[in-house]
Structure 1
Amino acid sequence: MYTRRSGGHTGRAGRRPAALGAAIGLILGAAGCSSGGGDGSASGPVELTYRIWDANQQPAMQHVVDAFHAANPSVKVTVQLTASAEYWTKLQADATSGSAPDVFWMNGPNAQLYEANGILMPLTDRLAATKVNLSDYPQSLVSLYSYKGTQYGIPKDFDTVGLWYNKKLFDAAGVTYPDDTWTWQNLQDAAVKLTDASKGQYGILAPPFNQENYYNTILQAGGTIISPDGTSSGFDQPAAVTGLKFWTDLIKAGASPSLKSMTDTYPSQLFDSGKIAMYYGGSWNTLEFSKNPNLQGNVDVTVLPQGTKRAGVIHGLANVAYAKTKHPKEAAAFLAFLGSKDAAEIGAKEAGVIPAFNNTQQAWLSATPQFHLQSFLDEVAYSVPYPTSRNTSAWQSKEATVFAPVWDGSADLAAAAKEMAGVMNTALSKEK
């Protein structure tokens, strides 16, 4: 089973959105939280630190910092790059010791843990002064970084999940390309027609990914992963079982490789081989697929097929500030600049990510015109925030163990879904 890699959301291949494990052991008592050194401007030059985890984005982030410095010459910001594999462990240690960076990246799965324990600077009362308007970002992203009515993060970028497909395989099989009229049934029928196991060719990949796969189909079946109030699991709902069954049925029908095959070789790499007709992949796969010679001119993307309703998971990173920064006024000003239209456009042009600021996505679309990337933006209108709680990792990390036997055909799906709901409800009860 797989969990999205750290690196959050754009690295998806270097910054995939779900970096979960390290935050579980966060010892936060010592960080507890005054807001540091008041709101007055410092008497001399101010130095801020800005921590990120994606080396691919470092040049773009440096250009944003340079633009901020040009407008605020008395404030110097140093970009700190921490490898994604170490990011959360180091942040945990720094937050515990009271030496966290002034401003840093945050992802959805970890946000509530840091918010609830006073590690992040509350921003709600600072938004007007810094001229940040939360309506400038998709509300599903804004809500990811709001806790008990207080805003803690300014959305930076986002990703959604689309249906990637290999046109060459569709043409050879005489199957019409998928589009926004497709339903689950259309996909299931096409997947069977596009499969020729004797050639090692399959209609679709059905890996046990949550963000890319079964979270979306659970939502499309009318279910939830976590209740709106964050207190109970939705895995034991009939709709959740339906959403999970969508994937296991594809494996049983032989339209997808086995779990073992998808474990031995990472699924996106299987799609890279040119032997897979369809793949539920994120906007973060764009760069990977655009550079693969096996896929040149043969691949495109459209919106996810519709179940009983249209729905899909959205995740995105936010910029946040440390509650104990010595320079809260300057940190808040820098956060506002990071959330500005200018910063978003720099990110779109140079970092290869979808900027969160509304109507600044054209540069990202134009960078890879061979794909219909507008599909990822079209899905925002019916997107649902990535499911999180105060300790997301406590239950999400158990999904792999519970569902793996279902994917390999050795366990009952309904029983596993009920088991996962119990695991999740127990974890959630400890958050109260």
Structure 2
Amino acid sequence: MGKRSARLCAALLGVVLAASGCSSGSGSGGADDNGKAELSYAVWDINQKKVLEELGREFTRTHPKVTVHVQLTPWPDYWNKLKTAVTGGSAPDVFWMNGPQFQLYASNGVIRPLGEEFTEDGIDLAAYPKPLMDLYTYEGKLYGLPKDMDTVGVWYNKALFDAKGVEHPADDWTWSDFNSAAARLTDPEKGVYGTAAALTSFQEYQYNTIAQAGGYVVSPDGGKSGYDDQRTVEGLTFWTDLIERKHSPDLRTMTDTSPIQLFEAGKIAMYWGGSWNAGEFSANEYTKDKVDAAPLPRGERRASVIHGVANVVSAGTAHPREATEFVEFLGSEKAALALGRSGPLPARDGTQDAWVKAHPQFRLTTFLDAVDYAVPFPVSKNTAAWNQAELTYLTQAWAGEQTVGEASAALAAAMNDLLAEE
């Protein structure tokens, strides 16, 4: 999408959301004559549908007049369907929200601020990681409760390490240690690379090294790009240097075959990935007994991007109290334990043991320890517009057509224009 088109789409979306934010419509209709209410709950992960339906029935047992209907829309269609529902005044009562989309919905009045009700109801907000709570706070108001979370680490191939006589990553390893290991693990004759310097998921790669170098992506007030900061450039150069040294596949190779596919084929020794990879690597025949997790290496500082899905309430719901109580229930210890047994890493403190025990062959405490040095996923009101710009400009550096400094400066200028329009 071109810059002008991205701006136009963002502007139109903002108008649509603003126009619908005050709508009194709801995806479930009003309560009937007996005071009964039906809540619609929109989600995108089929793997969690069963446990969420069970939690809906559990909520009904303590709230007999409320019935919950889980509405599944797979990820590729989720946001388009949600925007259509919001436009038509039929938004679901409760739905999943992520960080990149949050400020757009909050700033246009599409979702309800819930912080005051949480406080009145005695919800322990300290039970959730502060960076996640900050992620779902807009202009001082909290809009949702995190249901799960994810941090980033290095998944590494123990078999490849052992074959080359390379020590497994230490908890306190550094960028220098990582680069040294990548060099020793690269084996051109076997088509094996030490790592993969991908440009497809900034959450797993660039955002982490930018923070580790002391740089930033967007200022806390959402008004300025950090891509022209020298420390940010250093965080990006970490990756392009790996490509230049041939310790990572080049951009074309990683476009043809994704890094995770290369890792699962034994062609990548160290893969920067998230806590969410545990389920897939447990099921994969190659990785299930050959890989393990280590913390991200340290740059100037330790850092791992934290993100997580939050449950939010539509501003147009016909039953705001019931919807809020359902969100509170989904954030409870009981619900978090149920979620942890089914797959995702729960956000609520003290409920992650079931998730860790589900994959005992991996050192999953790595991802829990990362919460202590986690940094929030960078967002603004229209994150999607500059996410596209990141790919457009940095691709030239990853392909070797520009220096990182040149590409990053051009990105900063374009991103500042987009932020100004917000």
Mapped partners of 2:9, 2:332: distance in 1:
30
User: 1:133: Cα distance to partner?
Assistant: 2.1
SS where residue 271 of structure 2 aligns? strand
Evaluate the alpha carbon distance shift between residue 400 and residue 378 of structure 1 in structure 2; reply closer, same or farther with a 3 A threshold: same
Amino acid of the residue matched to residue 317 of structure 2? T
State the identity %: 50
Alignment of 1:212 with 2:204, yes or no, is: yes
Amino acid of the residue matched to residue 376 of structure 1? F
Mapped partners of 2:229, 2:163: distance in 1:
40
- Structure 1 unaligned spans of 5+: 1-20
1:398 aligned residue (389, 397, 401): 389
Which residue of structure 1 lines up, in the alignment, with residue 158 of structure 2?
Answer: 167
Which residue of structure 1 lines up, in the alignment, with residue 242 of structure 2?
Answer: 250
Mapped partners of 2:31, 2:198: distance in 1:
52
Evaluate the alpha carbon distance shift between residue 345 and residue 275 of structure 1 in structure 2; reply closer, same or farther with a 3 A threshold: same
1:28 aligned residue (12, 17, 26): 17
User: 1:35: Cα distance to partner?
Assistant: 6.8
Mapped partners of 2:169, 2:195: distance in 1:
13
Amino acid of the residue matched to residue 164 of structure 1? W
Range moving further from structure 2, 105-114 or 280-289: 280-289
Alignment of 1:387 with 2:378, yes or no, is: yes
- Structure 2 unaligned spans of 5+: 1-7
SS where residue 179 of structure 2 aligns? helix
Evaluate the alpha carbon distance shift between residue 385 and residue 220 of structure 1 in structure 2; reply closer, same or farther with a 3 A threshold: same
Query: Any idea what the Cα deviations from partners look like across 1:196-244, whole Å, max 9, x if unmatched?
Result: 1121011111111311001100000001111122110111101111000
Do the aligned residues in 2 keep the contact of 1:41 with 1:330 (CA within 8 Å)?
A: no
Q: Which runs of 4+ in 1 moved over 4 A?
A: 21-25, 34-37, 39-43
Alignment of 1:19-418 (within 5 A): 25-26=12-13, 27-33=16-22, 43-208=34-199, 209-350=201-342, 352-418=343-409
Mapped partners of 2:43, 2:230: distance in 1:
40
Mapped partners of 2:97, 2:288: distance in 1:
34
User: 1:112: Cα distance to partner?
Assistant: 0.2
Mapped partners of 1:325, 1:319: distance in 2:
14
User: 1:129: Cα distance to partner?
Assistant: 3.4
Do the aligned residues in 2 keep the contact of 1:29 with 1:96 (CA within 8 Å)?
A: no
Range moving further from structure 2, 82-91 or 293-302: 293-302
Mapped partners of 1:67, 1:253: distance in 2:
55
Mapped partners of 1:138, 1:23: distance in 2:
30
Q: What's the Cα RMSD here? A: 1.8
User: 1:23: Cα distance to partner?
Assistant: 7.3
SS where residue 203 of structure 2 aligns? helix
Mapped partners of 2:346, 2:56: distance in 1:
16
User: 1:134: Cα distance to partner?
Assistant: 1.3
Q: What TM-score results when the alignment is normalised by the length of structure 1?
A: 0.92
Mapped partners of 2:317, 2:193: distance in 1:
53
Do the aligned residues in 1 keep the contact of 2:93 with 2:323 (CA within 8 Å)?
A: yes
Query: Any idea what the Cα deviations from partners look like across 1:260-287, whole Å, max 9, x if unmatched?
Result: 1110011111100012110101111111
Mapped partners of 1:23, 1:364: distance in 2:
38
SS where residue 104 of structure 1 aligns? strand
User: 1:24: Cα distance to partner?
Assistant: 7.2
Mapped partners of 1:71, 1:420: distance in 2:
52
Amino acid of the residue matched to residue 194 of structure 2? G
Query: Any idea what the Cα deviations from partners look like across 1:117-176, whole Å, max 9, x if unmatched?
Result: 000011022113333221110010011110001111111101011011001110111110
Evaluate the alpha carbon distance shift between residue 196 and residue 24 of structure 1 in structure 2; reply closer, same or farther with a 3 A threshold: farther
Amino acid of the residue matched to residue 55 of structure 2? V
Mapped partners of 1:345, 1:40: distance in 2:
31
Mapped partners of 1:318, 1:24: distance in 2:
25
User: 1:334: Cα distance to partner?
Assistant: 0.6
Do the aligned residues in 2 keep the contact of 1:35 with 1:328 (CA within 8 Å)?
A: no
Do the aligned residues in 1 keep the contact of 2:264 with 2:284 (CA within 8 Å)?
A: yes
Amino acid of the residue matched to residue 233 of structure 1? S
